[in-house]
């Protein structure tokens, strides 16, 4: 029976037996599966992983055992560090962090890996200098974990050393880019601009996804270029970041940035831009991002783009009044038969009063004869807000304003 079948059956004892196999690949896979299955109180399995991390002849098995102990839980990982460094018992986090920081200088790379993993979980600021120093460790596995720890700290002190790791091997480079994105300051994000042209798709995605945190308009043009990326996940990340960027830039720069964003997005492929904008508007959790998505859709979507029009029409009932108002303004800007048709579906009494009133308001500008006929039937609507909009819209349409 294979290790996978043992794991599927929950037969942890058989997996522990496999730790004694002469086959390195078997031992490594057994370690990985035990890390996924073991509970923090399964001391027998933890003991087996501790032995693998401490005594196995193969460095890959030892490294996998460290990661498995990390997966089991902080206490399991600390057992390894306590066993290898001494100490133990109840102590303040900064004391534990200092002990683990010392372990970053240990002779054995597995111990340094374990220390970096543990410091990532502790997130103790006093350990930042030691972790930064570990970014230059000769073992790439340690550098990788040190990058991940720096990402958890999100401390500006880590920026210079993380930037150096952008010249490292791919997995370390990815971790460094992620960490710089987590730090999120303009100084941390600036080096990511160059990564939008990286040959590695995952690196480009990380950079595109992080640049929306910037507090200046510098990333707008590079992100707009990323809208033409061959990778759909990179294009999607770029659109999300453009919207986030609009929410982050200082108020005094927002108008200029909006104009630049609209110009760049209009030049991009319509489907590339509209699909993520619709997703942000319909599923986004942040009001400012939904507002920006509603506003931009009216300026970059095709008037016949049914998904965009549908999303904007639905947004007329948004809980956020500004999002609803931006949606109405965008529908008015788009105009056309698709907009008219969708809005006529939303003037019935089954829809919220505010949404109906906004739909009528827009129809007064974009509607035709059918709209006029439908609105004339609403002149005695039970809602005063809707009646007010109806009278205005009917007057406009009769005067040829549609």
**C-alpha to C-alpha distances, 147 to 43, 199, 203, nearest whole angstrom:** 30, 21, 15
Q: Does the structure show a pLDDT above 60 at 88?
A: no
* Rg of the chain in Å (alpha carbons): 29
pLDDT at 269: 63
Euclidean distance between CA atoms 364 and 378, whole angstroms: 13
CA angle 307, 310, 315 (to 5 degrees): 125
pLDDT tier, 92 (very low <50, low <70, confident <90, very high otherwise): low
Contact between residue 214 and residue 186 where contact means Cβ atoms under 8 Å apart: yes
Which is more confident, 330 or 81? Answer: 330
Q: Render pLDDT for 288-298 as a digit per residue (tens, 0 to 9).
A: 889 999 999 99
Q: What residue has token string 């002990």?
A: 99
Q: Does the structure show a pLDDT above 70 at 252?
A: yes
**Across residues 309-324, what is the average pLDDT?**
96
Q: Does the structure show a pLDDT above 80 at 93?
A: no
Say what the alpha-carbon torsion angle 196, 197, 199, 201 is, to the nearest 10 degrees: 30
pLDDT at 266: 78
pLDDT tier, 236 (very low <50, low <70, confident <90, very high otherwise): confident
**C-alpha to C-alpha distances, 20 to 3, 14, 38, 61, 357, nearest whole angstrom:** 13, 11, 18, 12, 73
pLDDT at 70: 83
Rama region for 299: left / alpha / beta (φ>0; ψ in -120 to 50; rest)? alpha
Domain boundaries of the chain, sorted by first residue:
1-72
Euclidean distance between CA atoms 56 and 377, whole angstroms: 83
Q: Does the structure show a pLDDT above 80 at 226?
A: yes
CATH class of 1-72: mainly alpha
Q: Does the structure show a pLDDT above 90 at 165?
A: yes
Q: Render pLDDT for 257-288 as a digit per residue (tens, 0 to 9).
A: 778 778 878 777 667 788 889 999 999 888 98
pLDDT at 402: 47
Nearest CA among 244, 330, 251 for reference residue 287 = 244
pLDDT tier, 375 (very low <50, low <70, confident <90, very high otherwise): very high
Euclidean distance between CA atoms 63 and 239, whole angstroms: 38
- In the Cβ-directed half-sphere of 348, how many Cα atoms lie within 13 Å? 6
Segment among 120-124, 136-140, 252-256, 393-397 with least mean pLDDT? 252-256
pLDDT at 141: 92
Q: Does the structure show a pLDDT above 60 at 368?
A: yes
**C-alpha to C-alpha distances, 100 to 40, 350, 380, nearest whole angstrom:** 20, 63, 75
Euclidean distance between CA atoms 380 and 361, whole angstroms: 16
The chain-wide mean pLDDT, for the chain, equals 89
**Across residues 353-378, what is the average pLDDT?**
93
Q: Render pLDDT for 387-399 as a digit per residue (tens, 0 to 9).
A: 999 999 999 998 8
How is residue 286 annotated by DSSP? -
> Widest CA span of the chain, in angstroms?
90
**C-alpha to C-alpha distances, 247 to 65, 96, 178, 287, nearest whole angstrom:** 43, 40, 21, 10
């Amino acid at each position: 029976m294979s290790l996978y079948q043992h794991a599927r059956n929950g037969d942890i004892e058989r997996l522990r037996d496999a730790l004694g196999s002469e086959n390195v690949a078997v031992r490594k896979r057994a370690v990985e599966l035990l890390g996924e299955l073991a509970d923090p109180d399964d001391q027998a399995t933890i003991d087996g992983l501790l032995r693998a991390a401490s005594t196995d002849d193969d460095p890959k098995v030892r490294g996998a055992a460290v990661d498995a102990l990390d997966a089991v839980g902080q206490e399991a990982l600390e057992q390894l560090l306590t066993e290898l460094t001494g100490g133990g018992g109840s102590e303040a986090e900064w004391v534990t962090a200092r002990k683990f920081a010392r372990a970053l200088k240990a002779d054995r790379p597995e111990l340094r890996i374990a220390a970096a993993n543990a410091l990532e979980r502790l997130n103790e600021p006093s350990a930042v200098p030691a972790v930064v120093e570990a970014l230059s460790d000769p073992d790439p596995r340690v550098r990788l974990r040190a990058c991940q720890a720096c990402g958890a700290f999100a401390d500006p002190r880590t920026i210079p050393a993380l930037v150096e790791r952008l010249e490292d091997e791919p997995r370390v480079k990815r971790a460094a880019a992620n960490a710089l994105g987590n730090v999120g300051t303009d100084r941390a994000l600036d080096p990511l601009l160059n990564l939008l042209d990286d040959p590695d798709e995952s690196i480009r995605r990380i950079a595109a996804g992080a640049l929306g945190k910037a507090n200046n308009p510098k990333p707008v043009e590079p992100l707009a270029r990323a809208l033409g990326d061959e990778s759909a996940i990179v294009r999607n990340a770029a659109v999300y970041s453009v919207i986030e960027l609009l929410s982050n830039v200082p108020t005094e720069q927002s108008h200029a940035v909006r104009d630049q964003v609209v110009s760049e997005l209009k030049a991009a492929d319509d489907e590339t831009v509209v699909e993520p904008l619709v997703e942000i508007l319909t599923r986004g959790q942040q009001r400012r991002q939904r507002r920006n998505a509603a506003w931009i859709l009216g300026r970059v979507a095709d008037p016949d783009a049914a998904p965009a029009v549908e999303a904007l029409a639905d947004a007329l009932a948004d809980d956020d009044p500004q999002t609803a108002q931006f949606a109405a303004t965008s529908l008015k800007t788009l105009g056309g038969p698709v907009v008219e048709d969708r809005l006529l579906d939303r003037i019935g009494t089954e829809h919220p009063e505010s949404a109906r009133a906004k739909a009528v308001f827009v129809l007064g500008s974009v509607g035709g004869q059918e709209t006029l006929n439908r609105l004339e039937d609403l002149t005695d609507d039970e809602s005063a807000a809707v009646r007010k909009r109806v009278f205005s819209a009917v007057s406009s349409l009769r005067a040829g304003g549609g």
